[in-house]
Structure 1
C-alpha cells in the first residue's frame, strides 16, 4: 500500500551531540570541508549512501551509533572544535566590517549631510538558489550564480538577506527512455527533511504572509529560514492550510506552469518577499535593507510593494515613492535573448492588479506603464518583467562586458534618443565561489604552496613555482574520480532504461582516466548548440578513436520540460553516444545537478562551450574548470570574450554574420574539430622524458595565475558593493532624509522637466578654428538654446566630440559641458566652450541638451535629449 502523505521525522540527538543540529542547519557545511569530514565520521557508509546529505544522515543513523558517539571523547572534542569554528566564522569581523571607516555601514545621514557609507543591509531576490544538491531549489546558471553570491557575501561579511520561494517539487529529476528521450520526474520535497526552520513569531506561531488576489481571495505563505553562513535566506511556501488547492500549488515547482501560475509565483516572490523581510527584521531585530537587488525580472514586483509602503505609510505620492524606490534598487539582467524574459499579457496584469483588486496607492495604469514595451519595435500587448525591473531601478547591469553591450542594444529603447553606448546599463562579470567548486586536493595544494592566495586572495603568480609533477598528479586523481562516478551513473541510467546486467558489462571500461577528457554540461536551449560537435559524425568518431591521441567527451544537461527541440538534441547525442564503437569514449550523464557539476569541472581537462555568439550572458562553468586546472575551448562569448588571452585555452572562431545558420554551424564545427585535433590533443599528449606535458602544464599555470583573481566571486561581490550597493545606499539615504524631502523634490523636478521638455531646442551652433586645425589646438564652440520654461540649472549643454567614421558618426565620443548661459534675444541662452583637439585624423562634434540634477545617476536617466536640427544630407549626431 502506498502512503498518501510523506513527511520526515527528525532525530532527537543525545545532549552531547546537540551541536550537530546547529552545524546541519547552517549551510556553511556545503563548502566547509572540515564540517563535511565530521559528518562523514558519524557513519562513513551511511554518509555515502545518503549522498552527503547531513539531514538524511542524522535522520537515518542508528540510535546505537549515536549513543556510541555521545560517549566518544575524541569525536566530542572534534564536534566542539567545529562548532566553535562556525561561531567564529559567524561573529568575527570580515572584509565588509574592516573597510575604511568612511565607507563603513552606518545609519542614514542627517539632513544636509553628505550621504555615504555602505548599506547596513541588502535584500537579494532570486527565483532560485543553487546552494547544495541537498537543497534542490535551482535549475541552472541563474540559481548557481545566486547561491555563489550568497556564499561569498557570507565569507566577506556583506549583510545580505536572501529571498526566494520554496518549491515543494523543486526542479525536475531527469532520466532517459529506452530510445533516449528525456523524462521528467518531480519528487516531492518535505521541508522538514531539509536544513530549514520555520520563521516564527515570538509566541511560537508560524509567520504568515498574504497577498491579495482577484475575487476577494488571498494567497497565504509561510516562511522557511535557511542559514547560508552569515546570510539568512527566506523562502516563501504557499503549501499551507489557509489556501485552497490552487493557491497551495503556487510554489509547487520551479518554473512550472504558465500564465496565471507563473504570475502568482512572481507576485509572491516580489510582493510577498518584501513582506517576509519586514516580518524577519521585526522579529529578529535585523537592520532593514537599504538596498534591494533584483536578480533578473522574476522578482520585479518587489518595487511595487515598496512603492505601496511609502504611499500608505509615509504619505508620498506614487511618483515620489517611485523615486525613493528606484534610488535604492539594483537590477541585474541575465539574458541576452528576448525569449528569456518573462512577458505576460497586459490583460492578465489588469485582472490581478486592477478592478476590485486595485489599490488606490498603486493604480493599475501606473503598473501597466512600468512594464510597457512602448518603444520602437516593442510589443504593445505584453507586460515585460525586465522592462519593469529596469524602470524601478536606478542602477542596472549585465553579467559580463559583452553582455552589458548586448543589453544596451536590447533595451536601448527605454532611453530613446541616446546612443547605445550611453544607455545606463553597466556590467559586473560573474564570478564563482571557490570553496564550492574547487577540488579539495587543489585547495590543499594552494594552502601548502601559495598560502597568500588562500589567506588574502593575493600572490596568484606564485602558482608558477609549483612543481608540474604535483599538478599533473592531482589532475590524474580528479580525472579518475570523474571516470569512476561516470561509470556508476552510466550503469544506473542504462539499467533504468531497461538494459540487463549482461548488456552493460561494457560500462566497466567506459572512459579512461589517462585519456584527454573534454566536458560539456549546461542547460539545453538551442542556442547553446549541444550537438554542434556532431555536425560531422565521421570526423568526431576519428577524433574519439584516434589511436595515438584519443579524446573522450563527458556530456550532461537538461532541457526545459516544454522544450521539445531541446529534448530532441539530447536524444540525438544519447543515440550517438550509445553506438558500440564510441560509447566508451563519449557519454551522456543524466540528471545534471550541482554534485555532478562539481565532478565535471574538477575532472575535465578541457571545458568546451560553443553557443551562438553573443547569446551567452556569462557562462561560469568554464571559470570553475579554470580554477581546477582545466583549460577552456570556447566561442568568444560571455566571460571568455573578456578574458581569453591566447595562452589560457583556445578560442573557437565565430562565423558571425553569415546568412544561413547551417553554414555558420558547419564552419564553426570544422574549426572546433581542427582545434581539438591539431592543438588541444597535441598539447595534451606531447610528453617529456618524465612523462609530463610541459607546454600543457605551462598553460594550466598561466590560466590559474591570470584568471584566478578575476573569476572569483569575491571579486564580483566586492564590485557590487563598491560600484552598486554603496552608491545605491547613498542615493536611498538622500531620498529618505528629512521625511523623504529628497524624493519629493526630485519627483517634482522630474515632472516639471518632462512637461517643459518639448519646448527645449538647440537653435544655433557655430565654431571657430576648423580651418587647418592641428593637434593641441582648441576649437571654440558657441551654442544658442531655447530652454522654454526651464532654468539653466535644470540642464546641461554638452559638446560630444572625437573621431568619426566614414558615415560621420562619432565613435566613442568625449563630452564637454559648456558654460556661460549668457542671455540673448527672446529669452534664449548662449553657451560657450573650447574643445581640445587631441588626436589627428577625421574629427567631428555635435551638441545636445540633457536634464541635469545632482540626484540623477546619469545623463540618460530620464531618456530626454534635445539635438540640433540635422543639416541637409546629415543626421543628428553628425554635425561637424
Structure 2
C-alpha cells in the first residue's frame, strides 16, 4: 500500500545538543568544513547513507546515539567551537559593513536556487549561480533577501533505460524534512500571501525560510489547504507544465514574492529592500506589484510609480538567444492581470510588448522596469545589446544600455578541501575579498601541486566506479555481469570532464563527430584519454534525450567503456567530484550562444585546465597559458560542416597539445610544463572567478547607484518621481518635432592630426528647452558606406542667437588619421536618467 503523504519525524535533541539544531538550521554548514566534520561525527554511517543531509540523518539517528553524544566532552567541545564560529559569522561586521551609503537591504529574485543538493530547488546554471550569489553575499555581509519558489518535486531525478534513454523521476519532497522553516506571523499563524487568479479564484502560498548564512531565502509554496487542486499544483515542479502553469508560477514569484518580503520584514524587523534585483525575466512581475503598492499607498499615477520602481530595479539577462526568453500569449497575461484592482492592464501589457502584437515578452518587461541592466559576461553583454537593440531604435547596439558583470563561483562550495587548505595555509582566506591570496601558489612546490591533482583524480575515479556500478544496476543489469565496473577509469590517465544541461547548442555529442578518431584518443597505448560526461535534458526535449542516448550507446561499447562514461543524475553532489578531479574541463558550445558557463570556473579553482570554445567567460579570460581555445568556424553557415571543422580542431588539440603536455614528465614523474599551466591558472583565474568578486561588482556598479536613484525618487513624498514622469511625458510628446535642421563646420587650419573642427548645429526643439536635451557631435572612423565605428562624442553647448533659433556649438579633436566622419544628434537629458538612451528616442542629423 502506498502512503498518501510522507513526513520526517526526528528524535528530540537533548538540551546539551540544542546548538547542533541551530547549526543544521543554517545552510552555512554546507560550505563550512568544520561544520561538515562535526555533522559526520554524529553518525558516520548514517551521514553517508543520508547523502550528507543532516536533517535526514537526524531524522534517523537513534535516541541512544544522541544521548551518548550529549555526554561526550570531546564532541561537546567541538560543538561549542563550531557554534561560536557560526555566531561570529552571523553577527560580526564584514566587508559590506565597512561601506558608506550602501543599501540597507536588497531583494534578489530567481526561479531557482542551487544552495546544496539536500535542497533540490535548481535545474542548472541559473540556479547554481543564484545560490553562489547568496553565499558570497553572506560571506561579504551584503544584506540580501533571496526570493524563490518551493517546488514540491524539485526539478527531476534522472536515470537511464537499458538503451540509454533518459528517464525522469519526481520524488515528492517533504518540507518538514528540508532545511527550511515555516514563517509565522506575530499571532503564531502561518505567514501566507494571496493573489488573484482568473474566474474569481485566489492563490494562497505559504512562506518558508532557508537560512543561507546571513541571507534569508524566502520560498513560496502553493500546496496549502486554502487552494483548490489546480492552485496547489502551481509550485509542483521547476519548469513544469504548460504556458498557463508557467505564467502562474511567475506571477506567484514576482507578485507573491514582493508580498512575502513585506511579511518577512514585518515579522523580523528587517529593513525593507531599497533595491530589487530580477535574476532573468521570470520574476519580472515584481515590478508590477511594487507599482501597485505605490499607486494604492501614495496615490501616484501609474507613470509616476513606474519611475520610482525603475530607479531601484536591476535586471540581469542570462540568455543569449530569443528562444530562451519566456513569452506568453498577450490575452493569457491580460486575463490573469484583470484581477489586480487599480492598475491599467493595457499599460502593463505595453511593458511586455514586442514586434508580435499577440505576445507578451518577459525580458522586455524586465528591461523596461529596470533602470539598470546587465549580461553575465563581457561577450554576453555584447550579444544582449545586439539582441535587444530593437527596444532602442536609432541607437547603435554598442550604446544599448545593457552592461555586463561576469559571473563568479563560490570558492568554499566548489574547491576541494585539500586545495582550499593549501591556499589558506599560504595566504589565509581567499573566499572573501578579491582573492589576492592566489598569488601565494608560487610558494607551493611542483611536487605538492601534482600530488594534489593525483589525489583528486583518484577520488573522482572511485566515485565514477561507484556511480557506473549503481547506474548499471538501475538499467537492469545483473550483479554477475558488472565485474568490469570495478576497473573503469584509471587514476593515472588524463581525465576530461564535460557536464552541463543538454540543449542542442551546448553540443554534447560534438566529440562523436568522428567516432573512430575519438576511440583512437581514448585507447592510445602511450597517451590515453578518459572522459566523464553528465547532464540532464529538459523532460520535454526529445532532441536532447536523443543526444544523451547517442552518447550512452557509444560509451556502452565494451571496447571503450573503461575510458568514457555518461553518469546520470547530475547534481551538486556529483559536480563537486568532477570539478575536483578532472584534469581538463571541456566546453564546446556554438559561439556565442553560451551566456557565461561557470562550470569551467569551478574546475579551474581546483587546478583543472579549460579546453573550450571562446564563448562566455572564456572569451575574455583565456590568455594562452591557462588552457586551450578551440578554434571556431564562425563564418560557416552549414551547421554540419561547422561541427566537423570544430570537432576536428578539438581532436587535434587533445592529440597534439593536451595529451603530450600531460604525459611529458621529468625524472621525478612530474609533468612540469603542465603544472606550470595549473599554477598560472590558479594565479590568473582564481581572483577573477570568485563569486565574492562578482557580488562586489554588483554592489559597487549596480546596487549602490540604484539605491541612490531610488532614494531620490521616493524623497519628499515621491516629488522627484512625479517630476520625472511629467518631464518624460513632455519630452516624448514633443519628440516627433525634434530634429537637427542644419550643421555647419569649420576647420582650424588643415585637416591634420592634432587639429580641431568647429561645429555649429541648428536644432528644432518643438517647445523643449535646451536643458531638456543633450546635443552631441558623434565622430569616429568612417567606412566606405559612411558608417561610423570606434565612436566618441562631444557635447555641444547652446549659444545665443538673435532670431531666437536654437543653436549648439563645440569643437572636435582630430585624433586619428584616415577616413574620419561625424554627425550630430539630439538626446533627452535629465539628472535622474541613468543613461541618455533611457527614453529610447534620438534625433540624428
Q: CA deviation at 1:820?
A: 2.8
**1:270 and 1:305 in contact (8 A); partners too:** yes
Instruction: Give deviations 1:157-188, integer Å, cap 9, x for gaps.
Output: 00000000000100100000111000000000
Q: Take 2:697 and 2:790, find their aligned partners in 1: how far apart are those partners? A: 24
Deviation at 1:10, TM superposition (A): 2.5
Give the aligned partner of residue 343 of structure 2: 362
The equivalent residue for 2:358 is 381
Name the residue aligned to 2:217.
Answer: 233
2:670 equivalent to 1:686: no
Q: In the alignment, which of 369, 375, 385 is matched to residue 392 of structure 1?
A: 369
Question: Is the CA contact (8 Å cut-off) linking 1:137 and 1:170 kept in structure 2?
Answer: yes
Q: Which residue of 2 aligns with 1:469?
A: 447
Worse overlay, 478-487 or 738-747: 478-487
Report SS of the residue matched to 1:583: coil
Which residue, 724, 727, 732 being the options, matches 1:749?
Answer: 727
Aligned match of 2:762: 784
Instruction: State the alpha-carbon separation in 1 of the partners of residues 432 and 183 from structure 2.
Output: 35
CA deviation profile, 1:322-371 (whole Å, cap 9, x unmatched): 000000000000000111110001110121113xx252x21110111000
Mapped pair 1:509 → 2:487:
yes
1:696 matched to 2:680? The reply is no
Q: In structure 1, what is the Cα distance between the partners aligned to 2:223 and 2:401? A: 40
In the other structure, the counterpart of 1:844 is: 821
8 Å CA contact retained: 1:47, 1:57: yes
Counterpart in the other structure of 1:221? 205
| Paired residues for 1:767-846 under 5 Å | 767-769=745-747, 772-823=750-801, 825=803, 827-846=804-823
Contact 1:555 1:589 in 2 (8 A): yes
Q: How does 1:224-373 map to 2 (within 5 A)?
A: 224-354=208-338, 357-359=339-341, 361-373=342-354
Q: Decide whether the 8 Å contact of 1:452 with 1:458 is kept in 2.
A: no
- Residue 41 of structure 1 pairs with residue 41 of structure 2: yes
Give me the whole-angstrom Cα distance separating, in 2, the residues matched to 1:213 and 1:452. 49
**Structure 1, 379-388 or 318-327: larger mean CA deviation:** 379-388
Q: TM-score, normalised by structure 1?
A: 0.95
From 194, 210, 218, give the equivalent of 2:194: 210
2:119 matches 1:135: yes
Q: Over residues 657-697 of structure 1, what are the superposed CA-to-partner deviations in whole Å (9 max), with x where a residue is unaligned?
A: 21200000000000000000000000000000010000000
Task: String of CA shifts for 1:708-757, please: whole Å, max 9, x gaps.
Answer: 11100111000000000000000000000000000000000000000001
User: Is it true that 1:578 corresponds to 2:556 in the alignment?
Assistant: yes
Distance in 2 between the 1:234 and 1:570 partners?
35
State the 1:46 CA deviation.
1.1
Counterparts of 2:308 and 2:301 in 1: how far apart (Å)? 11
Q: Distance in 2 between matches of 1:379 and 1:551?
A: 50
Corresponding residue SS for 1:168: coil
Give SS of 1:711's match. coil
Q: CA deviation at 1:453?
A: 4.1
Conserved in 2, the CA contact under 8 Å of 1:437 and 1:624?
A: yes
Q: Which of 161, 172, 177 is the aligned partner of 2:156? A: 172
2:629 is aligned to 651
1:607 lines up with 2:585 in the alignment: yes
Q: What is aligned with 1:58?
A: 58
Q: Tell me how far apart the structure 1 counterparts of residues 431 and 298 of structure 2 sit (CA, whole Å).
A: 48
Query: Partner of 2:619 in structure 1?
Result: 641
- How many residues were matched structurally? 844
Tell me the residue number matched to 1:450: 427
Q: Distance in 2 between matches of 1:831 and 1:721?
A: 38
Q: Are 2:734 and 2:768, in contact at CA under 8 Å, matched by a contact in 1?
A: yes
> Contact between 2:423 and 2:437, CA under 8 Å: does it hold in 1?
no
- Say if 2:770 and 2:798, in contact at 8 Å, map to a contact too: no
Q: Distance in 2 between matches of 1:498 and 1:820?
A: 81
CA contact (8 A) 1:446 1:454 kept: no
Contact 2:280 2:317 in 1 (8 A): yes
Q: CA deviation at 1:449?
A: 2.5
Deviations 1:162-220, CA, capped at 9 Å, x for gaps: 00000010010000011100000000000000111100012211011000111211000
**Ranges in structure 2 where 5+ consecutive residues have no aligned partner:** none
Paired with 1:138 and 1:452, the residues of 2 have a C-alpha distance of 28
After TM superposition, give the deviation of residue 807 of structure 1 in Å.
2.5
Cα distance in 2 for partners of 1:91, 1:225 equals 19
Q: What is the aligned partner in structure 1 of residue 685 from structure 2?
A: 707
Provide the TM-score with structure 2 as the length reference. Answer: 0.99
2:177 corresponds, among 180, 193, 213, to: 193
In structure 2, how many angstroms separate the alpha carbons of the residues matched to 1:789 and 1:128? 49
Map of 1:404 onto structure 2? 381
- Aligned pair 1:480/2:458, yes or no? yes
CA contact (8 A) 1:447 1:454 kept: no
Deviation for aligned residue 1:842: 1.6
Q: How big is each residue's C-alpha offset from its partner over 1:388-425, in whole Å with a ceiling of 9 and x where there is no partner? A: 01100000000000000000011011111111110000
Kept in 2, the 8 Å contact 1:824–1:830? The answer is no
- Kept in 1, the 8 Å contact 2:291–2:309? The answer is yes
Q: Which deviates the most, 560-569 or 256-265?
A: 256-265
User: Structure 1: how far apart are the matches of 2:707 and 2:713?
Assistant: 10
In structure 2, C-alpha distance between the alignment counterparts of 1:799 and 1:684, rounded to whole Å: 55
Quote the Cα distance in structure 1 between the aligned partners of 2:136 and 2:424: 19
In structure 2, C-alpha distance between the alignment counterparts of 1:25 and 1:286, rounded to whole Å: 19
Contact kept in structure 1, 2:111 and 2:127, CA below 8 Å: yes
1:555 lines up with 2:533 in the alignment: yes
Matched residue, 1:622: 600
**8 Å contact kept, 2:432–2:692:** no
How far is 1:450 from its partner? 3.1
Q: Is the partner of 2:310 in helix, strand or coil? A: helix
| Cα distance between partner residues in 2 of 1:316 and 1:833 | 41
Q: CA deviation at 1:516?
A: 0.2
Query: Would the aligned equivalents of 1:430 and 1:618 in 2 still touch at CA under 8 Å?
Result: yes
Q: For 2:186 and 2:308, locate their aligned partners in 1 and report how far apart those are by CA, in whole Å.
A: 32
Distance 2:801 2:344 in 1: 43
Report the secondary structure of 1:848's partner residue: strand
| In structure 2, C-alpha distance between the alignment counterparts of 1:612 and 1:708, rounded to whole Å | 26
| Distance across 2 between alignment mates of 1:641 and 1:471 | 27
Say which SS state the counterpart of residue 326 (structure 1) adopts.
Answer: helix
For the pair 1:421 / 2:398, whether they are aligned, the reply is yes
Contact residue 532 and residue 665 of structure 1 kept, 8 A: yes
SS at match of 2:234: helix
Q: Which runs of 5+ in 1 are unaligned?
A: 105-116, 869-880
Name the CA distance, whole Å, in 2 between partners of 1:215 and 1:663.
Answer: 53
Summarize deviations over 1:72-117 as a string: whole Å, max 9, x none. 1111111111111100000000000012xxxx2xxxxxxxxxxxx2
**What does residue 640 of structure 2 align with?**
662
Q: What is the alpha-carbon distance in structure 2 between the residues aligned to residue 551 and residue 6 of structure 1?
A: 46
Aligned to 1:811, the other structure's residue is in SS state: strand
1:810 to partner: Cα distance: 1.3
1:771 deviates by 7.1
Cα distance in 2 for residues equivalent to 1:199 and 1:483: 43
Deviation at 1:844, TM superposition (A): 1.1
User: In 2, distance between residues paired with 1:240 and 1:10?
Assistant: 23
SS in 2 for 1:780: strand
Partner residue, 1:111 = none
Deviation of the 1:455 alpha carbon: 7.4
Residues 770 and 520 of structure 1: is their aligned pair in 2 closer, same or farther, counting only changes over 3 Å?
farther
Distance 1:824 1:320 in 2: 38
The CA deviation string for residues 18-45 of structure 1, in whole angstroms up to 9 with x for no partner, is 1111001100001001000000110111
